[in-house]
Each structure stands twice: as structure tokens, then as C-alpha cells.
């Protein structure tokens, strides 16, 4: 009889005594992993006549896909919008530290900055797989500078830009390169934004609508040209109005092209969005909700003064303000906290809460065949969680990269 080495010499690990999030349900079955991928046990048994080399007892934990944060500005004293010579060590630190929050992949986010900052920082961001060194990098999220002055939020007004005659060339000149860029947030009411959205989408870059005074028809036009995301719904956009619901109206619009889904980010930190607004959005369009932290350099640090790009930010508890104002500026919430708050605020199932931080961001980025699920052949990036959704251990490519110490459990 052929052994389990007939296909590969790599060890097979079987995670037992667990509930796996698969096909939108927690299922009591084992998880099988080899060479960083999730195995189909039936194929293993019947085709390879294989068996496990290592068995791990999960002690009735939940196993869920790793979280994917598509909007994170920094953390632990590191600000992705500050041009430094040791930028790489900063991004390495953040990617290491967020493993304890259950984040296995992320999009480092730059707020509105001068062109010189983009030119210095973007070449230092490289798309890479996660591992013991930290969460994987999926590409940069550039939030601005092509946004509305009226809804600039924490973005510095003197750095804002509009699209001139050569709109897409303006954008290229501003950023310097799009090689590692995954998401661009812009205001769709800007002149020539449609052609920019079209060009970005053609290059496989996700376009997000935000920091905007767009009405609903301008937002719908942007979606028809390829936009698929809304940056932190309700924040930095016109408030919902019954005669023109603005960008918020995309959640129930009948003008979305067939076969397309609009996703929207929510900062579920208990500060940026009232629980009632979170419930309204979730009930209106549950399959589009993507949890984001919008975390800034002060995440993981004591209250006080920190930076967000060109601005000074004051942290007071969970509130973060542009210094001397009451303008909110990012959050200091961690992704696992956002997942727990979302579940508590909406009363949704554990499965739905976990998918908002894993499956939905993967679908937004078009990587759901690899990440965001525990389907067979997908990347073995997953978490062990308690019933109340506290992260007990984080795995990337089937390897344990972080574990809550015994005293802390």
C-alpha cells in the first residue's frame, strides 16, 4: 500500500477536536494541512492512502480564516505615511505585532501626503507572504490625495490634489509608481475621476470611494466605471439623506452592474460608528461589510501625542483626534476587538462576524481562492479562537506564528 509520502514528503498535520468555519458554518470536523495548504481528507485517504504525521488537539477551539486588514495606517509607533530610511524595519514591526490580533494579511495604508513621501515610501513596500516574521503584505492602500476638501477629515488640506487635463498621468506622477498598489481611495465627484477609475481598475487596482461629497448618481457612475469599495462607510462623506442618500445609497442601489458587489469598510471600534448605524448598514447589505481597523501609529501605545502622516494626533482613551480639534483621525482599535464589537453590536452570528474580517476582504481583493476561507487547496492561514472570539493562536501557511501564553488564556 502506498504511504502518505506518495505525493509529497512534507508532513501532514491534523488539527482535531475543533469547529471549523467552512461554507458559512462552524462545522465539527478536523483540519488537515500540508505544505502550507489545506488538504481534502477524502483525497488523502482514498487516492493517496495517506494519514497524519502529527495530530494537534485544539481543545474545542474555533478555527477560522486569518483576518485581512485592508486599511491600517500603522501601529506601535510606526506611521506608514512618514518617509524614513528605515521604513522596512517599521513595517516589519507592525506585521509582527498584528499577528496577536489575528491579522495574517494586510494593506499598509498611506493617508494624503506630498508626492515626495509616496516616491520614497512606495518603493519600500513589497508584496510578500506572511510567516513567522509577520503578516503578509497584499499591497498598499493609498487613501488620497485625490479627495474632497470638505470631507478631508484628518488629511492635510495643503496636500490635497485634483485631476487636471491628463488625469491618470497626474495620479502616476503623484504616486511615482503603482507596482505595489492594491487600493486607491478617491472622491468620485472630482472631474475626470471616471477615466482614472477605469484606468486603475484595468490594472487590477481596487478603487474605493471616500472622503467625498458625492451624491448617489455620482457614486453609481463610479461603480459603473469599476469602483468596488467604500472607505469607512458614514465617516468623511455626506450623511444619509432620504432624497439623496449619497455614497451610503450604494448599499441598496439598483444601478450596480449585474454580477458585481459593492463592498464597504466599517471601523467597528465603538467610536467611529454608532452601533445603530452599524446595524443599519449590516442589515441593508450584509455580504458587503468589511471590517477595517483604520489603525494609526498610536495603536498599542499609551495615550498622548502621536502622528498620522503630516498631522499630530492626540489619543484619549479610544478616541483619536487631530491635535487641538475634535476631528477623528483613525483608530487605535485592534482587528480582534473590532470583530467582537461588531458581533455584540449587531447580534450577528459568530460565523458572520468572522467572515466580515476574512472572507469579505478576500472577495474584495479577488483573492478568495487563496485566502479568507478554509476551503481545500487554499492557504493555511487560520486562527484558533475561544467561543467569545479571543485569539488563542495564529497560523500562517500551517505554521504557528503566535500563541497566547498559558497565563494569559
Binding-site residue numbers for substrate are 154, 235-236, 243, 272, 328-330
Residue keyed to cell 463610479: 222
Instruction: Tally Cβ neighbours within 10 Å of residue 258.
Output: 4
Summarize the annotated binding site as residue ranges.
143, 154, 211, 232, 235-236, 243, 272, 328-330
In this structure, what C-alpha cell is assigned to residue 249? 445609497
Residue keyed to cell 488563542: 392
Catalytic residues: 294
**What residues contact 312, with CB distance under 8 A and at least 6 apart?**
305, 306, 322, 323
**What residues contact 355, with CB distance under 8 A and at least 6 apart?**
21, 24
Taking the C-alpha atoms of residue 292 and residue 267, their distance in angstroms, rounded to an integer, is 5
Is there a contact between 135 and 106 (Cβ–Cβ < 8 Å)? yes
Q: Report the residue count for the chain.
A: 409
Is there a contact between 322 and 154 (Cβ–Cβ < 8 Å)? yes
Instruction: Tally Cβ neighbours within 10 Å of residue 314.
Output: 17
Amino acid at each position: 500500500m502506498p504511504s502518505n509520502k506518495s505525493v509529497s514528503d512534507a508532513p501532514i498535520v491534523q488539527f482535531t477536536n475543533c469547529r471549523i468555519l467552512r461554507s458559512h458554518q462552524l462545522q465539527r470536523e478536523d483540519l488537515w494541512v500540508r505544505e502550507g495548504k489545506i488538504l481534502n481528507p477524502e483525497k488523502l485517504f482514498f487516492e493517496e492512502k495517506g494519514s497524519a504525521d502529527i495530530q494537534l488537539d485544539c481543545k474545542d477551539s474555533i478555527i477560522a480564516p486569518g483576518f485581512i486588514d485592508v486599511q491600517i495606517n500603522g501601529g506601535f509607533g510606526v506611521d506608514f505615511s512618514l518617509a524614513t530610511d528605515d521604513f522596512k524595519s517599521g513595517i516589519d514591526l507592525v506585521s509582527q505585532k498584528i499577528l496577536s490580533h489575528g491579522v495574517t494579511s494586510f494593506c499598509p495604508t498611506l493617508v494624503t501626503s506630498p508626492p515626495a513621501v509616496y516616491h520614497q515610501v512606495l518603493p519600500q513596500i513589497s508584496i510578500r507572504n506572511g510567516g513567522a516574521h509577520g503578516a503578509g503584505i497584499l499591497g498598499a492602500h493609498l487613501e488620497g490625495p485625490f479627495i474632497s476638501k470638505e470631507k478631508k477629515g484628518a488629511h492635510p488640506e495643503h496636500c490635497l490634489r485634483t485631476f487636471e487635463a491628463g488625469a491618470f498621468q497626474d495620479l502616476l506622477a503623484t504616486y511615482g509608481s503603482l507596482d505595489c498598489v492594491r487600493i486607491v481611495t478617491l472622491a468620485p465627484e472630482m472631474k475626470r475621476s471616471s477615466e482614472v477609475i477605469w484606468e486603475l481598475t484595468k490594472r487590477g487596482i481596487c478603487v474605493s470611494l471616500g472622503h467625498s461629497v458625492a451624491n448617489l448618481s455620482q457614486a453609481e457612475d463610479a461603480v459603473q466605471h469599476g469602483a468596488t469599495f467604500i472607505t469607512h462607510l458614514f465617516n468623511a462623506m455626506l450623511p444619509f439623506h432620504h432624497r439623496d442618500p449619497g455614497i451610503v445609497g450604494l448599499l441598496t442601489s439598483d444601478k450596480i452592474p449585474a454580477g458585481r458587489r459593492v463592498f464597504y469598510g466599517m471601523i467597528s471600534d465603538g467610536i467611529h460608528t454608532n452601533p445603530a448605524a452599524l446595524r443599519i448598514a449590516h442589515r441593508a447589505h450584509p455580504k458587503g461589510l468589511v471590517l477595517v481597523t483604520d489603525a494609526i501609529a498610536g495603536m498599542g501605545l499609551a495615550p498622548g501625542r502621536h502622528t498620522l502622516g503630516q498631522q499630530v494626533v492626540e489619543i484619549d482613551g479610544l478616541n483619536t483626534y487631530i491635535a487641538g480639534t475634535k476631528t477623528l483621525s483613525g483608530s487605535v482599535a485592534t482587528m480582534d476587538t473590532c470583530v467582537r464589537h461588531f458581533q455584540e453590536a449587531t447580534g450577528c452570528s459568530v460565523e458572520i462576524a468572522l467572515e466580515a474580517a476574512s472572507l469579505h476582504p478576500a472577495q474584495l481583493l479577488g483573492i478568495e481562492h487563496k485566502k479568507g476561507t478554509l476551503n481545500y487547496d487554499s492557504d493555511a492561514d487560520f486562527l484558533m479562537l475561544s467561543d467569545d472570539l479571543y485569539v488563542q493562536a495564529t497560523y500562517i501557511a500551517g505554521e504557528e506564528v503566535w500563541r497566547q501564553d498559558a497565563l494569559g488564556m
